[in-house]
Amino acid sequence: MNHDDQCIFCKIIKGDIPSYKVYEDENVVAFLDISQVTKGHTLVIPKSHHKDVFALPSETAGKLFSAVPHIATAIKEAFDPIGLNVLNNNGEAAGQSVFHYHVHIIPRYGKGDGFG
């Protein structure tokens, strides 16, 4: 597994920084975003450190995205949104601020829910 001592998400994986985990398996962790754009905003990350989609091995992407339907369903059941965005930012210009690949799951509650 790749690891970066300076990376905040690697620290979350190790348990050195606390997080509210909603899912974990051998390869993937999902936890609530510290700054919720909507209720239930969750991040899904590979346990292996890769900075963005360009550095992400396809095999790692496959393992991560195979967990996404399960995590999205759990979020839908927990928060009862009427829709849900699955998205990923790559590069500062695209809004990436943490350089450990991650997917945002953003539950949507209709007009005025604070996102988009």
Q: How far is the CB of 76 from ligand 5GP (least distance, A)?
A: 20
Stretch that binds Zn ion, among 34-42, 43-51, 62-70, 78-86 (CB under 5 A): 43-51
Looking at the Cβ atoms of 43 and 64, the one nearer to ligand 5GP is 43
89 binds ligand 5GP (CB under 6 A): yes
Stretch that binds Zn ion, among 7-15, 54-62, 66-74, 102-110 (CB under 5 A): 7-15
Going by C-alpha positions, the residue among 32, 4, 1 that lies closest to residue 18 is: 32
**Contact assessment for residue 44 and residue 71, using Cβ atoms and an 8 Å cutoff:** yes
Q: How far is the CB of 9 from Zn ion (least distance, A)?
A: 5
Q: How many CB atoms lie within 10 A of CB 71?
A: 19
Residue from the set 10, 28, 67, 75 that interacts with Zn ion by CB under 5 A = 10
**Contact assessment for residue 49 and residue 3, using Cβ atoms and an 8 Å cutoff:** yes
96 binds ligand 5GP (CB under 6 A): yes
Strands, DSSP E only, in 20-68?
21-24, 28-32, 42-46
Reply yes or no on whether 102 is catalytic: yes
Task: State the DSSP H helix or E strand holding residue 61, giving kind and residue range, or none if neither.
Answer: helix 58-79
| Window 2-21: residues binding ligand 5GP (CB under 6 A) | 8, 17, 19
Mark residue 16 as left, alpha or beta (left: phi above 0; alpha: psi -120 to 50; beta: remaining).
alpha
Q: Given the rule CB under 5 A, which residues bind Zn ion?
A: 4, 7, 9-10, 49, 100
